Chains A and B, each alone.
Chain A
Amino acid sequence: MPDKVSVAMGQGSSCWGCFQSLVDIHMNLADVLPQLDIKFWAAVADFKHEHLEEYPDGSIDIGLYEGMARTEEDVHLLKVMRDKCKTLISFGSCSTFGGIPGMANFSDIEECYDVKFRNNKTVKGGEVPTENLPPITDVVKPNKDYVDFDIYLPGCPPTSDLILKALTALLKGEDIELPPHTVCHYCDREKEDTPIPEVLRPYQGKADPDRCLLEQGYICLGSATWGLCEGQCVNKGAPCRGCFGPPPPIHDDQGAAGISMLGSYAPIEPEEILEQVKDPLGTFWRFSYPTSHLGSMRIKREEANDQ
């Protein structure tokens, strides 16, 4: 029997959905778990931060980091994971692009604090907590700006099939081969290349289940999104919102690609399309704002303020 593969699972600020998706490989856990020597995984084993810090550098075979880095503790953990792990995997879209919580960069941090602690319907006059807590970063920077990753496994979350495929390859010491197609490749709906007369919101009307959602006027980011999801939402009637990020090379601008696709399908006057598309930023850059061109300008502004 071969030696076990040592692993560390780190969590930045996130929902734990990527790890839940790992757990959802179901009975395959019975094959995979016994091959792992778990060195750190806060939600599963009782090792503390000091245990992780005490391992020699480069002594852990595989590290998975879920979530974006919202606090100084997250940044520290990310760097420690990089030091300790031979292969570091960016696990999920938050880690890879900033993800949904990257939308906090639409506002300044003080505005975020206002709503969370100082003035909201059930909160009045609180102060930002500080005791025994790691400070919050002013802006969400992409994890790749802090450390280098060896592998990116995006998705919100990555599917269980994708995780199993990746883990199986890693445990055998093989490369992970991922198909490059967009979501459209996996979508069962027919495209007729007809123009969009009007942009619709997903609750409006009833979509034809057999036709391309975008052609029916429903904004769908399938054409700008990596199809590692295999089209699970679009085939159940829900338009794509881009949760796997752009197809390889994965740090292209997904939002710009999505808008450009809408533009080429919708021969609508600019003023009118602006009126019809209610929230361009939160629609096209929902998962990848921190790694986009627009988002990097936002981060640079913050850095200029700090100097």
Chain B
Amino acid sequence: MTDERTIRIDPVTRLEGHGSLTIKLGPNNEVKDVQFNVSSTRFFEKFLEGRPMEEAVRIAPRICGICPIPHHLASVKTVEDAWDVTPPPAAIKLRRLLIEAKQLSSHAIHFYALAAPDFVFGPFADPAVRNVAAVLKHLPGVATQAIKLMEFGQELCKTVGAKAIHPTTAIPGGMMSPITEEQRDHWLSKTDEMFENIQKTVDLAKTVVNDYLDVITKVAVTPTYYLGLANDGELDIYDGLIRVMDPEGEIVEEFEPRNYDEYYGEHVSDHSYATHIYYKAAGYPEGIWRANSLARCNVADKMATPMAQEALEEMRELVGRPSHHTFAYHYARVIEMVQAAEWIKKLLEDPEIVSEDVKLADVEANAGEGVGVVEAPRGTLLHNYVCNDEGIIEKANLIVATNNNIAGIEKSLMDAAKLIFEDEGHKGLELPDPMVET
């Protein structure tokens, strides 16, 4: 019999935000509570008040250095919704190119730099080696394909967005400048190599999934609701309707982003500066939902591109639909990388991508309210601004991607903690030998 104790993990590492973990154990290692403590906040919703709407488009990306492009685009869509503006088709294609390029690089950095060290060196390796620098040292080929994919995505973002991190070219009514034919040709010439690296990533992911199948199917298998955009049922990260799937796999809602407050609940936790977003009709905590790659793959009927669809079918054969396997997020991320790669090629091959007709000249500010939604790598991202007749923001509400996952993360951590502390289930897990012995 053991006494009550508290385990603190501070900070949670290999994530790009701020968080710590608190696990409270009772007698006999009974798990009493698991908290994911998100330990900072910066008050964007407050200081967007008083700013001109079009400037929010340049301020909001600073919420996240990994996903500034989804914020840039969710923000510009919000303003266009409020002012009833439809940008030229070429501008929308450039924006889609931007967000698909970001999806590619973000998923690459997540898979290779944040997640892979665990799988390459095994979960019990020394912290000094269980990181991306060691991947570079021991598996230079793998590191090179990772860096090449990140480079492709980030540099393409720079071509379209002026900056890969905190882009500046989207503006209510379109884009500040087009891309040139030379730029288009340059990126088209790079797509073959990019697809080779995508194929290698898919192969590596399949190896990891097969090696760790016991972990994937036993640790943190956590039924929740799921949230994600779908465009005519297809997985889409730039546009569509918001879908909610219940834990049994039924699509229980499909709605216009404008009506989000009928469906979104926001719970203020006593132990996290990040609020917990949930499905309002089911209440809290029953209605906890998760977003991000696996959620999108769950709610969508199918992928939008052929190679990605093939990969999704393979995943569904292995883990089903819906998949509640928290570790399957990595697999879903790779499937989405395939779709992003296919979208990029399709867009670059579209003659309209170099059109110079990318910005309206007659946009006018007016009083109104707008909602803009895109899928950020970490999930459905929603901006909502109310402005006065000069287009100055009076109220802002931001439901950022990760907030959709905070409660779900806690829930899956609770499942993992029970498995480890109460059942000692981790001892019986079948683990492969590390790819690299350290």
Contact = CB atoms under 8 A, between A and B. Distances in A.
Contact of A23 (B58, B113, B176): B113
B427 interface: no
A304 interface: no
Interface stretch (B42-50, B295-303, B344-352, B407-415): B42-50
A263 interface: no
A30 B147 CA distance: 9
Contact of A17 (B62, B269, B271, B365): B62
A307 interface: no
B9 interface: yes
B57 to A, nearest CB: 9
Contacts of A243: 166
A112 interface: yes
Contact of A282 (B55, B151, B384): B55
A47 B127 contact: yes
B320 interface: no
B363 interface: yes
A264 interface: no
B151 A26 contact: yes
Nearest to B171: A203
Interface in B22-47: 22, 35, 37, 39-47
Interface stretch (B12-20, B230-238, B332-340): B12-20
A278 B13 contact: no
Q: How large is the interface on A (under 10, 10 to 19, 20 to 34, 35 or more residues)?
A: 35 or more
A286 interface: yes
A123 interface: yes
A111 B133 contact: no
Contacts, number: 264
Interface residues of B, number: 96
Given A23-B150, A127-B270, A201-B52, A16 B65 contact: yes
Contacts of A43: 13-16, 114
Most buried by A among B9, B128, B144: B128
A21 B41 contact: no
A204 B365 CA distance: 10
A206 B91 CA distance: 14
Given A46-B130, A47-B127, A133-B37, A117 B64 contact: no
A117 B276 CA distance: 11
Contacts of B166: 17, 156-157, 243
A297 interface: no
B40 A74 contact: yes
Interface string B378-411: 0000001000001110011101000000000000
Given A30-B143, A73-B39, A120-B395, A46 B127 contact: yes
Given A46-B13, A117-B275, 5 more contacts: A106-B50, A133-B37, A201-B365, A232-B163, A286-B59
19 contacts: A13-B42, A15-B66, A17-B166, A19-B16, A24-B154, A27-B144, A43-B13, A47-B127, A70-B42, A73-B39, A106-B47, A111-B46, A115-B46, A122-B397, A123-B275, A132-B37, A134-B40, A237-B177, A238-B168
Interface of A: 11, 13-21, 23-24, 26-27, 29-30, 33-34, 36, 38, 41-49, 51, 70-71, 73-74, 99-101, 103-104, 106-107, 111-112, 115-117, 120-123, 126-127, 129-134, 136, 156-157, 201-206, 209, 232-233, 235-238, 241, 243, 278-279, 281-283, 286
Give the 8 A-B residue pairs with the shortest CB-CB distance, closest first.
A17-B65, A126-B268, A237-B176, A46-B127, A236-B162, A238-B168, A15-B65, A103-B47
